[in-house]
Structure 1
Amino acid sequence: MTTLVVCLDRTDDVGRRTGLRTPIVGWEAVRALVTDVGLADPEDSGVNTLLESLRVAQSLRDENEETVVAVVSGDRESMVSADRAVARQIDDLMAEYEPDSAIVVIDSAEDERLVPIVESRVQVDAVDRVVVRQARDIESTYYLLKQFLADEELRQTILVPLGITLLVFPILATVFSPAIGAATITAVIGLFLLYKGFSIDELLTTFAKQARESLYSGQVSVVTYVVAIGLTLVGLFVGALGVSNLGETEGAIVPTMQFVFDSIPWLTAAALTASTGRLLDEIIREEPIRSSFLHLPFLAVAVGLVVRGFAAFFLEQQGQLGPLVIDQPGIATVALTPGQRLAVFVAGGVLLSLIGVRTVSSMTGPRGPTDDSDDTTGDAASSGEDTSRSETESGDDTESDHSRDTTPSNPSGDAELTDGGSKANDSADESNG
């Protein structure tokens, strides 16, 4: 089975740059043509098309398939003459090599129009479109768009919002005005970009997964989170209601402080409820409680006190809030100034946070006396073992020294014995002699 790998060039770029006439057939001939075209115009995408033809032919050869690689060009006079020139060259290749199938390699929309000519003469198994990265030609946009449309995720991310925008804008422009329609569409597009940029979809997916797991596992925090959401909504409503009762005010500072002053007790209660539920989950698990969960309730109330104190300070300075009066029955009634009121709230928040730190440190502090006594006993035992071990070693050293001292050493005696032995041997030799 023979496969024809043909590279199509409708505008005869190969002939104009190299002066060669097509068809150019054979591995070595096409390989040399790559160098010629590349030297003539390094930026031409035809170089990549020729290399792709060689790559396809090589991959087919690796599969033990007989291949014929060829380059076919058209004519520069007109499109009709170019197509006829390509048809004539394809007929010559078919008559000479008789391929069973063909693989067409192209690099532009212009060359793609030659594919039906090849299909009318031989079975085309594949059309390999070469898209050069960072190509300057507008032709490559055609293939990039086709690749883009083939990606389902990109279609849903880009085309669906674009289609909705094109449908909604005429409706808004007709019902209201073009300015309102453009402003609305721009705002929606901005929100969508922020939604995708901050990966809010992934955060929502993670939150839904955690909520589902919490429901199935029966955690207490599920109920407390719902209560916290309700308290948050109440706080926002109370804050908005307080702002609506202000009347006409200049600037946005006073309404903002009024909103914070009215809503912060409810928001603090929501944070306290949520943190308490999370703490109960940790206690139910019968595992060591992390200190961060113990800090949260104290921290929520402390922050609420400080924020409410600052909001009250600004409102009292603007005359929107009366002074804080401390009524002590039987003693006196004290009215605090704005600064004193702020100091009381800040001091209360700091004191509460210190109480929380002290409470948490006492619950998760160092080991008690029992553990310390155990450590002392263990240290004493280990020191006793070390002492006995050292005494044993010292006793062994004493015995070894004593044995060395009591060992008889008489070098002269040894010498006499040696000499006597040698003399006896000498006398025995003389008698034998």
Structure 2
Amino acid sequence: MSQMSNKVEKDVNGSTSNKLLVICVDRDNDVGEKAGITTPVIGRDACIEAAQRLALEDPEDADSNSIFSAIKTYEDLISKGYQVEVVTIAGVKDRGVQADEKILDETKQALEKFSANGAVIVSDGEDDESVIPVIQNVLPVVSVQRVVMKVSRSVEYSYAVFGKYLKMIAYDSKYSKFFLGVPGILLLIGGIASALELTTQIVAVLVSILGAAFLIRAFDIDRVWSSWSKPTPMGFIRIFTMVTGVLLILSSVPAGIQSVDPELIESDTELIGKITDKVIIGQFIAGSLPILWIGMGAIFAGTLLSNWIGGIPRQISDILRIIVLGALYPTVYQFTNIMIYNEDSFSLIPPLLGGLAATLVSATLLFKKYRKHKDQEMVSD
């Protein structure tokens, strides 16, 4: 028996669990995306078929080896007399909260078929192991087994692997647009600037381009935009409401400026005094507030509508976002009255309490409706 099997057996013997569920975790759902397999995959034979199909679709994917390792762990524990079942569960391609929710749901489905009291987690890396706390919510984890591929340590193999990654950077658009595209743009602009003797001015441009590229990649702006721009009803709705909302938010600035009394702007007061004058600030906010709120509401409503059409279960947070936006309007409006007309600051309390009450009541009703819907789904299942 291998050292991994000995470690698992030692962990199991040190626990009080006698019915074990060997769980192979695929958080980014390669088994579904590449092999088209619906998870959870429960049982030895079903897992073997899933691993074979994934290996045929992508022989270099480590998840197929993780599934085989889970099956090997299952057989070793069976031979020791334990009651064991093996299952492969998966998240979603983009990982994140949705992946963890799906993994939790599939773990519960597996427990309905096999009522285990302990889990052995098999994964191929730290990303898959990050869901261990999620699984521990429904099942104690008694052992964790990481699958590490055995590869040749020769210099030739190292060069081959390095060459493979260089080829990916050069020909795979997912990597080349950042690792080659951004430096290429910087070098091209730098070369043109040197030829035109504009080296000093171009430094700011190069730094700005590099900073923008880092921000886009760091916050996944390119992926968000690609998901919004997909030719689906949800994508078109999000694009329309986002553009509309942004235009409305931008148009709230001139609307606010037009609301300011011209006599206050044309006075002899210094610029700093005008900017900090509370009456001017209050009039500007009061003028821009309706259009600004409509623009933000358009963006929130577009998100709600696209999620509702796509069947994504986020309606509660989307509806609450709109309700909070509406509940805050009277408070912000009253704040502008205090700035302009010197009203008592305590006049903020009634709209603030009213908005808080509306938010709490709405949240309570929505969560009750959500739980009732969930209970009905569980009964129907």
The structure that has the greater radius of gyration is: 1
The answer, yes or no, to whether TM exceeds 0.5 is no
TM superposition score normalised by structure 2: 0.40
Q: Taking CA–CA contacts closer than 8 Å with sequence separation of 6 or more, which of the two structures ends up with the larger relative contact order? A: 2
TM superposition score normalised by structure 1: 0.36
